[in-house]
């Protein structure tokens, strides 16, 4: 025994010495690599410095050549614009007035015809002079593109006899002015050829500078990569030094005799060939009982055997395969998990702080702002300077900067990298369960779900208020989180840990086996016959023990198991329920959580007001398991008006509003179901198979861990136990391989979905571009339902016969166009035809962004402007550049801010130095489509020109937007739309239709919506007619004559003066009440009419709706009623001016369907409106007499009220 211990100790010392030798070699190798990398990094920095010096010299040379070239161009421009300014439009009229012009005039016009590639002669010249916008063609004449032959021909023509200026002036002054313009073109061409070497040299220097800058960027990138590698190498060097010190310490302890435990050899479950060798070695007769030590880190599971249990390989057995790795020490095996765990221990404080801050503060923000704020928190924790206020311009500028940012050595607060709230607040198994429950897969939506499911809501002093227009709360709260279930329904104490009873009851048997280990050497001297007998006895004993185990399992099954009480059920109540008070009190007393939808409709409930005072609640009225989730469909901006500041301060707001990622997945689902249903079904099948396989992997890991926990040496021999472990591990490896195969299939399916996903990205770009309209028009809402409906309309308009795979890109391109048209057309139909220019401009901007031709900074420069950012308030303008007199201070300041963008660098200097050229360009009516004298040599894009026109000519923004939209989208958006209509199909009995009229005096206030409502009433079928009120009956009889019988009126209209008009026809009942009239019934009669119409299914129109406390409550009750208590045919129409919306109850406006009643500015729609007005007249005229009058009426109305619309059509496309 002593000899064996001595040998073991000697082997240990020898192994540690070899390990020390290897550690020294590794340390020296890493140190050598570190020294070489330092030299390489130094050389790379030197090359960067040399390249920067070269670029500085080239930049100086470029600037000098550019200044010389610009001065030359300015001289040429002045020489050309001088004669051009002498030309007047009246000059062309005088020249065209000649019937038989003099010969010198013909010579001038012949030279002009040659210049415009027309036939010579007076007839051709007269036709050229009569061209529309001929003066503009002279202004934008491409004089730079003239060839040498054209220059020679023009020179000979101008030097002909009789072509001098004095001779021409004696004959015709306009002809002399036109000849002066031809001389200016000739001089411009000659001067351009003289300056051609300078221009070529400038372009050559600019090309060289661009190459050298690209090379410098490449050098910087290489330096950054070298620095990153050096950082990782330094980390490896530190780890190697720590390992070396650890080995030296172990060797010192071993030599001094301070090792009290035998070293542990780990046996990893894979590769399996090592287990096969161990099973061949360990036979039942010669193997002692192993002492197992296990350690788990999902998904890796391993166990280790003590050194005394492993026997040396006999010479008769085959050697271990070359590909099977030998077991190594625990330190080597668990180095990476231990390092990861140590890193998590160092970041636990920062992770906990950021997670708690996210739960408390991120709720009210939309998904994009949540991520932005979280990124700023992470930057602050790293020690970076960051402003927490929202500043999109500063964020975009930060993303465009390409400087190498060194990580701080000492951060203020250590956090995980990469940091993920989903991985910290949730687990992978929970995420897979959410996938199986078909919960939204968007990360931002799941983060909102985690914030909602946080158990802190049960202990906070404020109830959660959910902004949930899409009813997402029920998806995330069903089922309730386990933390809430555990705190509200404590489980039973009986039977806990019952699975370990069998192992605990057999511990004495294990102690007996340990005593048998002492005599293991004596057992090795037994004969073969004794071994055979013992084997037979052991087999019999195993059978008996197996029978005993089965009996114990049967008795355990027969024992009664105390089941835990069912988890608390989430009660869903509505704020419009008349029984809300008793329901809330009962749920609070029983400790059941409640989700209260439309909570703003139940604010009059005393029980709700009592529960909102959370700090004053206590048992027994409110049990600990009670939690009140308040839900509303209102937007964040309307909460203050509806709830009030004091109530809002006592609530935790959580925004579950429209999520762009969820809408993207739903839109992709709609497209795949129609365009490629087999791909969608295959994708869903793969998801289910992957989830099933992952659950099987988790179950196999759980079984393997249970085998290690419940193993018993008395009942099961080591060889048999190892065989069971190998079989379990084989099944686990097979399941993991299957998971990997499914993941590869998922990647292939994702690649197949990529073309359709790009179509979805295009549609989502349109939706995101239209979203800012919700801030401009508060009642306008970009809802997911409308977006999906537009997607379905686009799909229905497509022909899906794709015979070849090559046709798919063309088909998807057409689908993109249809989707763009449907989304923009839906917005136009909702907002009204007067908003077509704004909607079209936003759609065109989205198309440019998808084509990567509209960077975020340029989009912000267009709207709301870079000057609106706090980061640009204190920016200094270019020194030494004086503001031109024709530019205002605000425009000049914004031009200075625009120089932050590379395309606008040097804009202020160009405006100051070339004022005449800029003024001539800005005076053209071609807006963004004309040539722009940009500050640089590269031409400006359409968006960049539009930004300049917004800054320099804001009064021409309407025409600039129209030109921009037409050049990107093509056909107008409203070409297939008719006059203003009311979307009756989308109306509901419990949702009033709020018609917003334009303010008085607005040019579009020409057609009243009552005409459209009358047509809808004529088409809608109803079975009963509402009797008139007593006051209405008296008024009618007074107007028709005493005792006159009342006809079957279809609807009654009373205007503001109390007069009335009877319109007969049909059996459909529609009653119109004009509020604010003294001649009409009191408010009580109006309320009675409202309630009677609700029950009988009549239509009621309230004209001139104003804020009235007596009328607000019945209208709010009508909004809050269930569908079962309101007749399905009932409709409530509210007509109010757009200026008076703020005076209406917020609950009414937020729960109504808005209709923006605006008319089109197009002449075609004006004519259609005129025809409809004529058809409503009492007298019918012949068409031959009516049509000319209608055409004249439409033209006069269009000229009088829509003159500004003509500005958009003056440009040449």
- Say whether both 596 and 619 belong to one domain: yes
Query: Looking at residue 134, which CATH number applies to its domain?
Result: 1.20.920.60
Mean pLDDT of the 913-937 span: 80
Distance CA 231, CA 1006 (A): 73
447-494: pLDDT as tens digits: 999 999 998 898 888 999 999 998 899 999 988 775 544 444 444 434
What range defines the domain where residue 42 resides?
2-74+209-255
Range of 111-125, 435-449, 915-929, 1038-1052 with top mean pLDDT: 435-449
pLDDT score recorded for residue 716:
67
Question: Which runs of consecutive H residues, i.e. helices, occur in 329-408?
Answer: 330-333, 335-346, 348-361, 367-381, 392-400
Instruction: Determine the Cα angle at 529 with ends 528 and 533, to 5°.
Output: 115
Percentage of the residues of the chain whose pLDDT score is greater than 90: 21
pLDDT score recorded for residue 27:
85
33-84: pLDDT as tens digits: 888 888 888 888 888 988 888 998 888 888 888 888 787 777 777 666 677 6
Distance CA 1159, CA 1205 (A): 13
Mean pLDDT of the 252-269 span: 47
Token pair in block for residue 641: 């008006």
* pLDDT bracket for residue 498 (50, 70, 90): very low
- Report the number of secondary-structure helices (H) and strands (E) in the chain: 48, 15
Least-confidence region, from 189-203, 391-405, 547-561: 547-561
User: Is the pLDDT reported for residue 23 higher than 60?
Assistant: yes
Percentage of the residues of the chain whose pLDDT score is greater than 70: 71
User: Is the pLDDT reported for residue 342 higher than 80?
Assistant: yes
pLDDT score recorded for residue 293:
34
Mean pLDDT of the chain: 75
pLDDT score recorded for residue 190:
81
- Say whether both 1012 and 1058 belong to one domain: yes
- Answer yes or no: are the C-beta atoms of 922 and 950 closer than 8 Å: no
Question: Which runs of consecutive H residues, i.e. helices, occur in 992-1103?
Answer: 1010-1019, 1030-1040, 1083-1096
Contacts of 1057 (CB under 8 A, 6+ apart): 1077, 1079
- Say whether both 1051 and 1148 belong to one domain: yes
- Say whether both 146 and 121 belong to one domain: yes
- Say whether both 1147 and 1045 belong to one domain: yes
Per the domain annotation, does 830 fall within a domain? Answer: no
Per the domain annotation, does 1037 fall within a domain? Answer: yes
Least-confidence region, from 577-581, 915-919, 1004-1008, 1090-1094: 1004-1008
Least-confidence region, from 202-216, 297-311, 957-971: 297-311
Q: What is residue 988's DSSP assignment?
A: B
Contacts of 1091 (CB under 8 A, 6+ apart): 1114
User: Is the pLDDT reported for residue 758 higher than 60?
Assistant: yes
Token pair in block for residue 168: 């021409």
Per the domain annotation, does 19 fall within a domain? Answer: yes
Task: State the residue for tokens 């989903």.
Answer: 422
Token pair in block for residue 332: 């080597």
Mean pLDDT of the 656-667 span: 93
pLDDT score recorded for residue 1093:
85
Per the domain annotation, does 687 fall within a domain? Answer: no
User: Is the pLDDT reported for residue 375 higher than 80?
Assistant: yes
Distance CA 387, CA 763 (A): 33
- Say whether both 1147 and 1085 belong to one domain: yes
Least-confidence region, from 117-126, 696-705, 1031-1040, 1160-1169: 1031-1040
- Answer yes or no: are the C-beta atoms of 500 and 709 closer than 8 Å: yes
- Say whether both 241 and 380 belong to one domain: no
Per the domain annotation, does 204 fall within a domain? Answer: no
Reduced to 3 states (helix: H, G, I; strand: E, B; else coil), residue 1041 is coil
pLDDT score recorded for residue 756:
94
Structure pTM? 0.64
- Say whether both 1152 and 1165 belong to one domain: no
222-235: pLDDT as tens digits: 888 888 888 888 88
- Say whether both 959 and 1072 belong to one domain: no
* pLDDT bracket for residue 207 (50, 70, 90): confident
What is the phi/psi pair of residue 1132, to 5°?
A: -115, 120
- Say whether both 1044 and 1155 belong to one domain: yes
pLDDT score recorded for residue 91:
76
User: Is the pLDDT reported for residue 607 higher than 90?
Assistant: yes
Distance CA 607, CA 586 (A): 11
Is residue 457 classed exposed, middle or buried when 0-12, 13-18 and 19+ CB atoms within 10 A define those classes? buried
pLDDT score recorded for residue 628:
95
Distance CA 483, CA 487 (A): 6
Per the domain annotation, does 1211 fall within a domain? Answer: yes
Range of 235-239, 382-386, 681-685 with top mean pLDDT: 681-685
Question: Which runs of consecutive H residues, i.e. helices, occur in 264-317?
Answer: 272-281
User: Is the pLDDT reported for residue 765 higher than 80?
Assistant: yes
Token pair in block for residue 685: 């099948």
Least-confidence region, from 75-89, 265-279, 477-491, 906-920: 265-279
Distance CA 1172, CA 1062 (A): 20
Query: Looking at residue 1112, which CATH number applies to its domain?
Result: 3.40.50.300
Note the Cα 706 to chain centre separation in Å: 45
Cβ-count burial 29-68 (b if 16+ within 10 Å, e if not): ebeeeeeebeeebeebeeebeebeeebeebeebbeebbee
- Say whether both 149 and 245 belong to one domain: no
pLDDT score recorded for residue 996:
85
If one counts the domains in the chain, the total is: 7
Residue, of 134 and 377, whose pLDDT is higher: 377
pLDDT score recorded for residue 557:
47
Distance CA 476, CA 365 (A): 18
- Say whether both 1019 and 1107 belong to one domain: yes
pLDDT score recorded for residue 1191:
76
Peptide bond into 479 cis (omega under 30): yes
817-869: pLDDT as tens digits: 999 999 998 888 888 777 888 899 999 999 999 999 999 999 999 988 888 88
Per the domain annotation, does 765 fall within a domain? Answer: no
């Amino acid at each position: 025994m002593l000899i064996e211990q001595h040998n073991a100790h000697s082997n240990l010392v020898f192994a540690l010495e070899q390990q020390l030798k290897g550690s020294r070699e590794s340390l020296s190798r890493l140190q050598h690599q570190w020294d070489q990398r330092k030299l390489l990094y130094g050389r790379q920095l030197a090359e960067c410095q040399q390249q920067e010096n070269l670029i500085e010299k080239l930049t100086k040379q470029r600037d000098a050549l550019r200044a010389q070239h610009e001065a030359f161009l300015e001289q040429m421009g002045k020489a050309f614009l001088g004669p051009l300014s002498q030309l007047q439009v009246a000059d062309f009229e005088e020249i065209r007035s000649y019937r038989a012009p003099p010969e010198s005039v013909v010579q001038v016009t012949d030279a002009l015809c040659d210049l415009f590639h027309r036939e010579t002669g007076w007839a051709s010249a007269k036709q050229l002079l009569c061209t529309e916008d001929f003066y503009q063609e002279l202004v934008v004449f491409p004089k730079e593109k003239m060839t040498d032959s054209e220059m020679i021909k023009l020179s000979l023509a101008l030097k002909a006899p009789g072509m001098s200026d004095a001779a021409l002036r004696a004959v015709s002054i306009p002809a002399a002015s036109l000849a002066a313009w031809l001389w200016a073109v000739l001089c411009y061409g000659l001067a351009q050829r003289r300056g051609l070497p300078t221009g070529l040299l400038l372009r050559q220097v600019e090309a060289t500078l661009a190459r050298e800058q690209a090379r410098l960027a490449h050098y910087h990138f290489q330096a950054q990569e070298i620095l990153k590698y050096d950082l990782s190498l330094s980390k490896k060097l530190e780890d190697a030094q720590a390992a070396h010190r650890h080995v030296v310490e172990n060797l010192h302890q071993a030599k001094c005799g301070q090792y009290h435990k035998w070293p542990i050899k780990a046996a990893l479950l894979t590769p399996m060939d090592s287990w096969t060798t161990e099973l061949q070695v360990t036979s039942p007769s010669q193997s002692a009982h192993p002492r197992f030590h296990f350690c788990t880190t999902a998904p890796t599971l391993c166990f280790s055997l003590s050194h005394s249990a492993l026997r040396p390989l006999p010479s008769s057995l085959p050697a271990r395969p070359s590909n099977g790795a030998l077991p190594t020490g625990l330190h080597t095996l668990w180095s990476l998990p231990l390092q990861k765990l140590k890193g998590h221990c160092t970041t636990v404080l920062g992770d906990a702080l950021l997670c708690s801050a996210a739960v408390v503060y991120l709720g009210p923000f939309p998904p994009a702002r949540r991520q932005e704020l979280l990124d700023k928190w992470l930057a602050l924790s790293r020690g970076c300077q960051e402003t927490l206020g929202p500043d999109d311009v500063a964020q975009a500028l930060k993303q465009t900067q390409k400087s190498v940012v060194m990580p701080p050595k000492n951060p203020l607060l250590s956090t995980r990298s990469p940091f993920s709230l989903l991985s910290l607040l949730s687990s992978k198994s929970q995420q897979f369960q959410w996938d199986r429950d078909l919960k939204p897969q968007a990360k931002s939506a799941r983060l909102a779900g985690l914030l909602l499911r946080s158990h802190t809501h049960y202990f906070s002093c404020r109830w959660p208020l959910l902004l949930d227009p899409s009813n997402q709360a029920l998806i995330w709260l069903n089922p309730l989180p386990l933390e809430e279930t555990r705190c509200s329904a404590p489980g039973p104490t009986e039977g806990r840990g019952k699975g370990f009873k069998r192992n605990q009851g057999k511990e004495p048997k294990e102690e007996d086996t340990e005593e048998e280990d002492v005599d293991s050497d004596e057992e090795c001297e037994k004969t073969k016959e004794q071994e055979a007998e013992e084997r037979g006895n052991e087999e019999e004993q195993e059978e008996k023990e197996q029978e005993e185990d089965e009996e114990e399992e049967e008795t355990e099954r027969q024992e009664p198991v105390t089941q835990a009480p069912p988890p608390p059920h989430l009660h869903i109540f509505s704020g419009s329920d008349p029984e809300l008070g008793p329901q809330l009190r009962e749920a609070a007393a029983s400790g059941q959580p409640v989700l209260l939808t439309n909570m703003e409709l139940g604010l009059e409930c005393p029980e709700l007001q009592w529960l909102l005072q959370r700090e004053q609640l206590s048992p027994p009225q409110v049990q600990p398991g009670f939690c009140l989730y308040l839900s509303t469909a209102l937007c964040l901006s309307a909460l203050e008006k509806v709830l009030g500041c004091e109530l809002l301060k006592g609530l935790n707001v959580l925004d579950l509003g429209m999520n762009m990622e969820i809408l993207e997945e739903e839109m992709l689902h709609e497209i795949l179901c129609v365009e490629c249903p087999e791909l969608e079904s295959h994708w869903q099948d793969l998801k289910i198979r992957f989830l099933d396989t992952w659950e099987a992997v988790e179950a196999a890991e759980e079984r393997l861990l249970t085998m290690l926990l419940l193993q018993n040496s008395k009942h099961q021999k080591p060889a048999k136990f190892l065989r069971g472990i190998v079989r379990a591990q084989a099944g686990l490896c097979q399941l993991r391989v299957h998971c990997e195969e499914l993941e590869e299939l998922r990647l292939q399916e994702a690649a197949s979905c990529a073309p359709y996903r790009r179509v979805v990205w295009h549609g989502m770009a349109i939706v995101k571009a239209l979203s800012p309209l919700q801030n401009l028009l508060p009642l306008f809402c970009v809802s997911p339902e409308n977006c999906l409906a537009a997607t379905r309309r686009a799909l229905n308009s497509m022909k899906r016969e794709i015979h070849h795979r090559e046709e798919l890109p063309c088909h998807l391109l057409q689908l993109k166009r249809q989707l763009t048209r449907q989304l923009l057309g839906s917005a136009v139909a909702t907002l009204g035809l007067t908003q077509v220019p704004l909607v079209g401009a936003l759609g065109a901007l989205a198309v440019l962004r998808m084509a990567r031709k509209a960077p975020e900074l340029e989009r912000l420069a267009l709207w709301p402007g870079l000057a609106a950012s706090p980061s640009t308030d204190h920016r200094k303008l270019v020194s030494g550049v004086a503001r031109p007199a024709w530019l205002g201070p605000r425009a000049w300041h914004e031009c200075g801010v625009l120089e932050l963008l590379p395309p606008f660098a040097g804009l202020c200097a160009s405006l100051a130095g070339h004022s005449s050229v800029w003024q001539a360009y800005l005076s053209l009516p071609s807006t963004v489509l004309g040539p722009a004298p940009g500050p640089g040599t590269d031409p400006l894009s359409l968006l960049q020109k539009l930004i300049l026109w917004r800054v320099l000519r804001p009064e021409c923004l309407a025409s600039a937007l129209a030109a921009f939209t037409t050049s990107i989208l093509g056909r107008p958006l409203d070409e297939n739309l008719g006059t203003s209509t009311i979307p009756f199909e989308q109306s509901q009995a419990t949702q009033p239709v709020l018609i917003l009229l334009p303010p008085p005096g607005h040019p579009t206030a020409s057609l009243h919506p009552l005409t459209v409502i009358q047509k809808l009433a004529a088409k809608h079928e109803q079975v009963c007619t509402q009797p008139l009120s007593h006051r209405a009956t008296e008024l009618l009889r007074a107007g028709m004559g005493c005792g006159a019988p009342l006809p079957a009126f279809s609807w009654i209209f009373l205007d503001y003066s109390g007069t009335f008009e009877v319109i007969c026809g049909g059996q459909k009942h529609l009653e119109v009440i004009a509020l604010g009239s003294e001649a009409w019934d009191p408010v009580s009669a109006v309320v009675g009419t409202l309630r009677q119409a609700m029950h009988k299914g009549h239509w009621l129109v309230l004209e001139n709706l104003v804020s009235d406390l007596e009328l607000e409550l019945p209208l709010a009750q009508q909004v809050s009623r269930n569908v079962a208590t309101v007749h399905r045919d009932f409709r409530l129409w509210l007509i109010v001016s757009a200026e008076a919306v703020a005076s209406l109850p917020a609950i009414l406006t937020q729960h109504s369907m808005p209709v923006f009643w605006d008319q089109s500015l197009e002449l075609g729609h004006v004519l259609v409106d005129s025809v409809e007005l004529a058809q409503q007249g009492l007298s019918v005229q012949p068409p031959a007499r009516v049509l000319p009058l209608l055409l004249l009426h439409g033209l006069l109305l269009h000229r009088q009220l829509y003159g500004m619309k003509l500005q958009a059509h003056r440009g040449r496309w």
